[in-house]
Structure formats: structure tokens, C-alpha cells
């Protein structure tokens, strides 16, 4: 369940700890458009139960996502910045006519760089690909992200973390 009380459907999980092995955080994205930053428990004998609980550090919705689902996430090796992909609105409900349903433009081509410590948007890339995004990878130095659009697997675009 999401801290705001609504049920949240997680779409992706990223783990931090590239540079600092003691950085035990997870970053999750959801169908409801939330990015949550969690501190993960350390599995060590002798720790009391309170030290073994997952703790929510930050929860936010990037304004540029406009409430759309977030589908995918990669994080830099310092665990400070993440790149998320904006998804599509769900299809209209049965009792909703298509005419009155919210506009459903194809998405998964808008990318948003965020600061996972503050929730601030760092950069927004609209129309990253002509087709919906099918894959995101981060370089081992975690300064560059590669993205591939569906149906266009020969074209990989590279984006620098801001």
C-alpha cells in the first residue's frame, strides 16, 4: 500500500549501492505515477527488529508525468539520480464511453530525470523515440543511459545524466 493510502502497483524496482556498498536503497515506480525511495533493511544477526524494517524515505510524483503511470527506472551509481519512463493511461472502464474517456496518447517515449534525494525533476525529454520505449540500460559508470524504442532495435539513443 502506498503511504497516501491508495493501493499501488509497482512497475519497476532499481537498487542503489554502486559506489557505496552500504547504500541499501530501492527506488520503485508505480502505475499510479509514484516514485518511492526505500531504505532496505540490513540482514545481519544481532540487529533488533526495528533495524530490519523497510523504511520509506521519499515519495513523489514528477509533475511532468501528469499522473500517467511510470514504467521503468534506471539509477546512477551514486544512487542520487534516476531516469524514469512515462507510460500510457489505462484503457477506459466498462462504464465509461470512449468519447468521454481521457485522451490516451501513446506514451513510453517521454523520459524524466529526477533527483531521488529531493524529488526534483532535473530534465524532461519528450518524444525520446518515435515508438514506445522497450528497453533502458545504464552504463557501468552510470553517467550514460541507453534507450531503445520498440520495433526499432537497431537505433539505441544515449542520454547523459544531468
Q: Is the dihedral of CA 137, 13, 77, 34 positive or negative?
A: positive
User: Looking at the whole model, is its pTM more than 0.85?
Assistant: no
What is the structure's pLDDT at 7? Answer: 63
Which domains are delineated in the chain? 10-160 (2.130.10.10)
In tens digits, the chain (162 residues) has pLDDT values of 455 556 678 888 888 876 676 788 899 999 889 999 998 887 666 766 666 788 899 999 999 999 889 988 988 888 889 999 998 776 666 665 555 555 555 557 889 999 999 999 999 999 888 778 888 888 767 688 888 888 877 788 889 888
Task: Quickly tell me which residue has 534507450 as its cell.
Answer: 147
Q: What angle do CA 91, 94, 95 make, to 5 degrees?
A: 120
Q: What is the per-residue pLDDT for 1?
A: 47
User: What is the pLDDT, as a whole number, of residue 51?
Assistant: 65
Amino acid at each position: 500500500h502506498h503511504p497516501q493510502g491508495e493501493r499501488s502497483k509497482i512497475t519497476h524496482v532499481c537498487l542503489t549501492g554502486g559506489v557505496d556498498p552500504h547504500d541499501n536503497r530501492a527506488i520503485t515506480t508505480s502505475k499510479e505515477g509514484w516514485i518511492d525511495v526505500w531504505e532496505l533493511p540490513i540482514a545481519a544477526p544481532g540487529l533488533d527488529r526495528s533495524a530490519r524494517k523497510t523504511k520509506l524515505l521519499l515519495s513523489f510524483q514528477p509533475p511532468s508525468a501528469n499522473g500517467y503511470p511510470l514504467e521503468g527506472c534506471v539509477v546512477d551509481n551514486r544512487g542520487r539520480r534516476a531516469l524514469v519512463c512515462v507510460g500510457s493511461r489505462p484503457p477506459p472502464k466498462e462504464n465509461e464511453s470512449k468519447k468521454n474517456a481521457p485522451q490516451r496518447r501513446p506514451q513510453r517515449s517521454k523520459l524524466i530525470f529526477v533527483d531521488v534525494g529531493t524529488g526534483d525533476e532535473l530534465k524532461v525529454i519528450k518524444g525520446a523515440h518515435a515508438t514506445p520505449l522497450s528497453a533502458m540500460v545504464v552504463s557501468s559508470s552510470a553517467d550514460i543511459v541507453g534507450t531503445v524504442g520498440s520495433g526499432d532495435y537497431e537505433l539505441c539513443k544515449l542520454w547523459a545524466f544531468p
